[in-house]
Amino acid sequence: MEAVVAIAIGMLTACGVFLLLRARTFPVVLGLTLLSYGVNLFLFASGRLRLDAPPLIQAGAAYTDPLPQALVLTAIVIGFGMTAYLLMLALRALAESGDDHVDGRMKP
Amino acid sequence: MSETSLLPLIVASAFIGCLIPALLARFGRGMGALGAAGVMAGCLALLAPLIPAVLAGEALVTAYAWLPGYGLDLAFRLDGLGLLFCLLILGIGLLVVLYAYYYLPGGHVRLPHPNPLPHPQGVSPPGLAAKPLNPARQAGEGANESLREISNHGDRLGRFYTLLLLFMAAMLGVVLSENLLLLVVFWEVTSISSFLLIAYKREQRESRIAARMALAVTGGGGLALLAGVLLLGHIAGSYELSVVLAEGERIREHSLYAPMLILILLGAFTKSAQFPFHFWLPNAMAAPTPVSAYLHSATMVKAGVFLLARLHPALAGSGLWFWLVSGVGAVTLVYAAYTAFHRYDLKGLLAYSTISHLGLITLLFGLDTPLSVVAGVFHIINHAIFKASLFMAAGIVDHECGTRDMRRVNGLFKFMPITATLAIVAAASMAGVPLLNGFLSKEMFFTETVGHPVFEEMRWLLPLFATLAGMLAVAYSSRFIHDVFFNGDPIDLPRQPHEPPRWMRAPVEVLVVLCLLVGIFPQWSVAPLLGAAAGAALQAPLPAFELAVWHGFNLPFVMSLVALAGGITLYALRKPLFALHDRLPSVHAHIAFERFYEGLTSLAHSIVNWLDNSSLQRYLALFIVFVLSLGGWAWLSGPPAVAAAAYQPADAAAFAALATLIVGALGATLLHRQRLTAIVFASVVGLVVALAFVRFSAPDLALTQLAVEVVTIVLLLLALHYLPQTTPAEDSGPRLARDAALAVGAGAGLGAASFAMMTSPFETISGFYLAQSLPGGGGANAVNVILVDFRGFDTLGEITVLAMVGLAAHALLDRLALTAPGRDSDGRPWARERHPLFLSMLMRPLLPLALAVSVFILLRGHNLPGGGFVAGLVTGVALVLQYLASGIDFAQPRLPRHKAKLLALGLLLAGGTGAASWLFGRPFLTSAHGHAALPLIGEIELASAMVFDLGVYVVVVTVVLMVLAQLGRLSRHGFPEKCGEAA
């Protein structure tokens, strides 16, 4: 299972990085979203993978590590904020420069 | 007030006094000079009461803590050595102030134009316009400085005196520091202020280049000195001189002694213009002559030899010291004397002779016998006196003749007999003629070379060398005297020379009288000061020495006679010698340095231009390359991964999920140019990730991921409405290959890292949270308790960031006019029915249901999966659906208008809950909890943290609404009209 998750993380990172390096704003936003998935999974995995052990306190139950979960929860929400912000920047840049190139200009 | 507290007062008043000439100069140039002289005289007056104690051999020390954690204290020390330098700095400073008043133009020359602005060229930074030097021009043989500077002096005398005082204050700081780090601080200030003084004529390119060169060399040396002093402090265990000077034994035996010594010597040698760092000093002659007389004879260049004298007890006494210091000193002594003999520029000759004499002083400290140290200190005094007077005399010649090229300036004796006599006496002192001060220290030098213990085998070598140096000194001094004041008539001078103003000559007269006084009555005039200074430099009882003009007919005296005769012979043979010299290949160290400097700056420019080409793509690619190399380096150099944990077996569901995820991610990437398709693929990825969270015991994360996923997709779709629907195919093949390589590298790296992490032994720090969640936080959902209680401060920061996103939506998009295309990417017009009845009718009853669900999620969050974040997102989604289904015209009036106020309310709720705990005398964000019975719902656990969670909820809802509503409002500008046109 660890290998499966590791492959997933690697896949998401690779796709995210590739899209981040594109020249237009929209693929960059998309790449950031994919990269966030990968990084969130990575942070989450630092608490190791446990099945059927949610960190809800009950008598005599086993729990997975709650701390990475709390961190990832905030990371997801911040990721949403960042995506939203980047999209708004992209729209603003489009309105200002009439172009959606990340450098604010057409390629010569 | 105790006596020692005068020490910081002297330095402080010098620094504060800097401003006085600048302020007074506007009332006339005389006021500026008077102010500067007043500050120096004031410092002397503060120093005066301390003199008797210091001459008696005391060292006065006082300290105030400044940065005690770094060992840096405002600690000052006045002993004989410091006193000697203080007197030189202040005494010669006073004379220079008087001299500069007459030397610098401004009073008796009026500008024809009233424009007070500096020359535009002068404002440009010196580094930018520089080009490789023209050697012929650089030689600057006799360029007239005083004529040129008349053209734009403006109100510059005040600036001159202020800089001069700043430099003086820094020098006083250097010689009065007890703390070595403090000494380095002042040392750097001398570098900077001398840079400003050399560049005083900033409209001249040579001045700017010379100033930059001086700063680069002495400033670089200052860095080495700092490193050396840090090492020295580390070795000695303190930066206080009192401690360091007593630790000589331990310092010399330390393993770091050699690097420390070399670093400190680098500082001293660059400052004192020792070979091979000597080249900045002749170039610094671009400064006005008063600056040369002050900085390059008496003070700044003496800072290096001061350091040698100061640290002598701690550093000297080793073979390394002997060979390094005496070797560099000896080479400098002879090389510079030889060069001085061949210069045509009067100031150039003096500059090289200064370098040569500094080499002599360095050599004396390097010989490292008690008497040679005494001789070194004595020569510091003598050289300062005669060289300052010589510079001033050269300045008078330049001032009166309009040039200082010795091929043109001849036979001045009949035009200015008094100045000529003074200059001749000073030059004779420089040559080491008896009855003058230079003779005494030179005799001591000769005495020390005879029978130096290190040269047992070759006892003739050092005396021979010394005699050769003496001959060269006589030769260039003869040249200074004979070429300038005799040797026929002046050739084509710009001005008719005559005696300078009475008081311009006065400083020279004072100094020449001192030369004679010291030379004839040494015991009576200089002995007490020399004894105190040499005693401080040795930190040991003084050796027996006799200051007398006549020591009998001994070997040193014979050497003096040989040097005199040989020097005059050399001068007589100057024509064939010069011709020979001209045939030798010439080495211009300053040009080599300048080329090196130019090369370095252009290299830096090209690197910066390559890195910073204002392309975000370039930055990001470089960043990823950097991260990859760091990660790769850590991977290769770190310990091998330990696979200790038991693996979880993978099942079919896991593989299916992985396959789906790969299809989603790859699809979104490969088809990213079809933007709508890419969104669909990306949303698949989000869902799989949410499922993964469910599987791996993270229900809260799954809920949040699901809700965020919906909002994000809606957001992407809304934005895509305005952005181009497709991405043009514009990337070249190599670019795609490069990015693919980077992407594969990053993916493989993070994947491998996460695999290694997941299979390595695991020790959690979360035991506390799990144990305290229920009893301490009053909630069974450990994740939620961590968020709103244990680490509530983080969450507070996070919702603040979110609130800023909401405000940014307002700032970025409000009143932004974007027109969406009227047709989709395939050229089809949009559907005319914008808000299908079916959808809007379905959504309206859904709203209260969704709201009820979100309240439920919010309330149960403390104990079961849920909480403010998820509930806020669910509410947000429900409201956004109303926008989508019924349109902004329906939704907008039904929602709160002032969303920013809602944001503030949410933040206040969260922050206020935290602050409320102050009322109970608890730290910020301490929570309290208890039980309450609600009708219908039953008993629930209430905690103050739930109010905090309510704040989170409000912020999240508002931000989602603000962002989406702003995007939706754009469509009111664009979409309907366009649609109408298209239809």
- Model confidence band, residue B75 (pLDDT cutoffs 50, 70, 90): very high
Question: What's the start-to-end Cα distance of chain B, in Å?
Answer: 95
8 A C-beta contact, residue A62 and residue B774: no
Q: How do residues B886-923 score in pLDDT, each as one tens digit? A: 877 777 788 877 888 888 888 888 888 878 777 777 77
Contact B641/A at CB under 8 A: no
8 A C-beta contact, residue B382 and residue B441: yes
8 A C-beta contact, residue B867 and residue B949: yes
Task: Collapse the DSSP code of B93 into the 3-class scheme (helix H, G, I; strand E, B; otherwise coil) and give the result.
Answer: helix
Give a yes or no: residue A59 inside a domain: no
Q: What is the DSSP letter of B460?
A: T
Interface test with A, best of B700, B703, B784, B804 (most A CBs within 10 A): B700
Residue B982 pLDDT exceeds 70: no
Q: Which domain holds residue A27?
A: 2-49+64-97
pTM of the entire structure?
0.68
Give a yes or no: residue A102 inside a domain: no
For residues B269 and B276, give the distance between their C-alpha atoms in angstroms, rounded to a whole number. Answer: 9
8 A C-beta contact, residue B16 and residue B4: no
pLDDT given at position B692: 93
Q: How do residues B240-270 score in pLDDT, each as one tens digit? A: 999 999 988 899 999 999 999 999 999 999 9
Q: What integer is the mean pLDDT of B336-359?
A: 91
Give a yes or no: residue A10 inside a domain: yes
Q: What is the DSSP letter of B573?
A: T
Which residue do the tokens 């219908």 mark? B936
Give a yes or no: residue A25 inside a domain: yes
Cβ-Cβ contacts under 8 Å, A93 against chain B: none
CB atoms near residue B624 (< 10 Å): 18
Contact B707/A at CB under 8 A: no
For residues B933 and B940, give the distance between their C-alpha atoms in angstroms, rounded to a whole number. Answer: 6
Q: What is the dihedral of CA B512, B517, B523, B527, to 10 degrees?
A: -40
CA angle, residues B358, B412, B289, in degrees to nearest 5: 40
Structure tokens given for B857:
């999620």
CATH code at position A28: 1.10.287
Q: How do residues B199-228 score in pLDDT, each as one tens digit? A: 888 888 888 888 988 999 999 999 999 999
Alpha-helical runs (H) found in B246-288: 248-253, 257-271, 280-283
Report CB contact under 8 Å: B747, A15: yes
Give a yes or no: residue A91 inside a domain: yes
pLDDT given at position B123: 37
Helix (H) / strand (E) containing B930:
strand B929-934
Taking only residues 599 to 628 of chain B, the set having a beta carbon closer than 8 angstroms to any beta carbon of chain A reads 614-617, 620-621, 624
Gyration radius of chain B over CA positions: 41
- Closest to B11 in 3D by CA, of B75, B60, B101: B75
Q: What integer is the mean pLDDT of B366-393?
A: 92
Interface test with A, best of B618, B627, B679, B764 (most A CBs within 10 A): B764
Helix B257-271 / helix B300-315 crossing angle, nearest 10 deg:
160
Which residue do the tokens 């790969």 mark? B662
Report CB contact under 8 Å: B751, A44: no
Structure tokens given for A11:
């896949």
Q: What integer is the mean pLDDT of A8-21?
A: 94
- Note if the bond before B494 is cis, omega within 30 degrees: no
Contact B798/A at CB under 8 A: yes
Structure tokens given for B776:
């301490």
Give a yes or no: residue A41 inside a domain: yes
Give a yes or no: residue A108 inside a domain: no
What count of residues does chain B have? 983
Closest-CA distance of chain B to residue A97, Å = 12
Sign of the C-alpha dihedral, residues B364, B365, B370, B373? positive
Report CB contact under 8 Å: A22, B809: no
Give a yes or no: residue A22 inside a domain: yes
Structure tokens given for B759:
């299979």
Structure tokens given for B235:
């070795």
- Model confidence band, residue B390 (pLDDT cutoffs 50, 70, 90): very high
Contact B808/A at CB under 8 A: yes
Query: Which residue of chain B comes nearest to A9, CA vs CA?
Result: B751
Residue B107 pLDDT exceeds 50: no
Strand bridging mode B72-78 / B929-934: unpaired
Distances from the Cα of B502 to the Cαs of B98, B214, B606, B971, in angstroms?
11, 34, 56, 87
- Model confidence band, residue B456 (pLDDT cutoffs 50, 70, 90): low
pLDDT given at position B791: 83
Domain count, chain A: 1
For residues B377 and B306, give the distance between their C-alpha atoms in angstroms, rounded to a whole number. Answer: 9
For residues B316 and B538, give the distance between their C-alpha atoms in angstroms, rounded to a whole number. Answer: 10
Q: How do residues B658-706 score in pLDDT, each as one tens digit? A: 999 999 999 999 998 889 999 999 999 999 999 999 999 899 999 999 9
Q: How do residues B119-141 score in pLDDT, each as one tens digit? A: 434 333 333 333 444 443 433 44
Structure tokens given for B410:
């001849």
pLDDT given at position B112: 37
Q: How do residues A23-79 score in pLDDT, each as one tens digit? A: 899 999 999 999 999 999 999 998 888 888 888 888 677 888 889 999 999 899 899
8 A C-beta contact, residue B349 and residue B56: no
Interface test with B, best of A72, A76, A78 (most B CBs within 10 A): A76
